[in-house]
């Protein structure tokens, strides 16, 4: 499935709810189709922004042998080193420093990214130039546990966006036979990961880009006459949209092929259709608008667009595709059109 790398960036910004950061980091004009080039440009732009604003600092515990007292005396180390006879003590004290975990993750990721074989030569040079400005920051070993240790606040929230990019980079680096070199895995081919990304993107897009519907996920309970509901599988929508008079349930799907073939005839995936229909039938008693709610199965386009509508037992079910290989403004308009809305007109 072909998706321009600028559009991948927008998908990530929506999925992570980072639209403010999208405007800070410039990704226009990238001619490359390599994902590593996209993430290198994002991290170069973002890190340059941090350096311009001033890298974040935090308090680090420093131990030092001094004459006098600073902070807290470490008597054990002072006695062990026989420092008292020299009128000196070993003290522990906090000191503001740039060499903190989120800066270490950023530098270490830049170093890893610079080792990727496919990386554009100019971007590699820019990474190395940037790394010279991070000399005082230590390189560390990166894994999932390290990212979970980071603690940010409102004042350094921009780091959260860059660290999400860093984690994505590290998660998709593959070692090569040449020591110290890497290749970047194309996570667009991973249907499971892309399914999660696509769902989060669509849900947050509708949360942010319209004000007619309330948008959220929704738990749906089986409408049973008797029996133990606890043994029944849980139903949770990907996206539920609700206005004062209408309800829409969207189930997003991400496949390399939108339709299946049965005896050389293309068909809608039956499991997907059963799932959306089960949602619609089991919320009928929730409210009057739920009784006639609409279900949408939304897929990214593969080789052709699809817009199929059918009414089943009083519910409209729509099977739609969204072409992610087009100009972003068209994607924006198409997503709004799927739920019956038009993009806002620019003021004159």
Per this entry, what is the length of the chain?
Answer: 348
Token reading at 68? 């006098």
**Domain segments of the chain as ranges:** 5-57+99-189, 58-97, 191-338
Three-state secondary structure call for residue 282: helix
Beta bridge partner(s), residue 298: 252, 320
Tell the residue number behind the tokens 């308009």, with chain if given.
333
How far is Cα 142 from Cα 106, in angstroms, rounded to an integer? 10
> What does the longest C-alpha to C-alpha distance in the chain come to?
92
* Long-range pairs, 64-70, Cβ under 8 A, ≥24: 64/90, 64/91, 64/93, 65/89, 65/90, 65/91, 66/91
Is the predicted pLDDT of residue 198 greater than 90, yes or no? yes
pTM of the model: 0.83
Is the predicted pLDDT of residue 128 greater than 90, yes or no? yes
Q: Which residues, at least 6 apart from 271, have a Cβ–Cβ distance to it below 8 Å?
A: none
Tell the residue number behind the tokens 């603690």, with chain if given.
151
Token reading at 27? 């990704």
How far is Cα 22 from Cα 11, in angstroms, rounded to an integer? 10
131-189: pLDDT as tens digits = 999 999 999 999 999 999 999 988 899 999 999 999 999 999 887 767 778 888 888 88
Is the predicted pLDDT of residue 54 greater than 60, yes or no? yes
Phi, psi of 173 (to 5 degrees): -85, 135
Beta bridge partner(s), residue 317: 295, 310
* Mean local confidence (pLDDT), 262-283: 89
107-120: pLDDT as tens digits = 999 999 999 988 99
Fold of 191-338: Trna Endonuclease; Chain: A, domain 1 (3.40.1350)
Is the predicted pLDDT of residue 215 greater than 50, yes or no? yes
Is there a contact between 35 and 8 (Cβ–Cβ < 8 Å)?
yes
Closest CA to 308 of 261, 262, 273: 273
For residue 305, CA distances in Å to 10, 273, 320 come to 21, 18, 8
């Amino acid at each position: 499935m072909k998706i321009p790398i600028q559009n991948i960036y927008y998908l990530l910004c929506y999925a992570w709810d980072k639209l403010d950061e999208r405007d800070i980091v410039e990704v226009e004009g990238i001619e490359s189709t390599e994902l590593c080039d996209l993430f290198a440009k994002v991290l170069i732009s973002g890190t340059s922004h941090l350096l311009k604003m001033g890298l974040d600092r935090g308090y680090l515990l420093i131990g030092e042998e001094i004459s006098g007292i600073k902070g807290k005396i470490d008597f054990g180390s002072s006695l062990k080193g026989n420092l008292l006879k020299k009128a000196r003590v070993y003290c522990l004290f906090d000191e503001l420093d740039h060499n903190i975990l989120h800066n270490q993750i950023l530098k270490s990721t830049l170093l890893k990214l610079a080792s990727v074989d496919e990386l554009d030569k100019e971007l590699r040079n820019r990474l190395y130039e940037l790394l010279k400005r991070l000399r005082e920051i230590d390189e560390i070993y990166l894994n999932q546990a390290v990212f979970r240790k980071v603690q940010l606040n409102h004042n350094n929230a921009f780091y959260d966006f860059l660290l999400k990019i860093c984690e994505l980079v590290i998660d998709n680096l593959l070692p090569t036979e040449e020591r110290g070199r890497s290749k970047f895995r194309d996570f667009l081919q991973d249907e499971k990961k892309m399914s999660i990304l696509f769902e989060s993107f669509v849900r947050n897009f509708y949360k942010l880009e319209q004000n007619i519907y309330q948008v959220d996920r929704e738990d749906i309970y089986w409408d049973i006459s008797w029996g133990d509901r606890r043994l029944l599988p849980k139903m949770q929508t990907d996206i539920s949209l609700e206005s004062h008079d209408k309800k829409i349930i969207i189930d997003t799907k991400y496949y390399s092929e939108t339709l299946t073939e049965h005896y050389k005839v293309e068909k809608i995936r039956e499991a997907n259709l059963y799932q959306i229909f089960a949602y619609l039938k089991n919320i009928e008693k929730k409210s009057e608008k739920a009784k006639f709610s609409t279900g949408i199965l939304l897929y990214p386009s593969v080789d052709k667009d699809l817009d199929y509508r059918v009414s089943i037992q009083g519910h409209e079910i729509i099977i739609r595709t969204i072409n992610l290989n087009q100009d972003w403004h068209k994607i924006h308009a198409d997503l709004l059109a799927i739920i019956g809305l038009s993009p806002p007109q620019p003021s004159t």
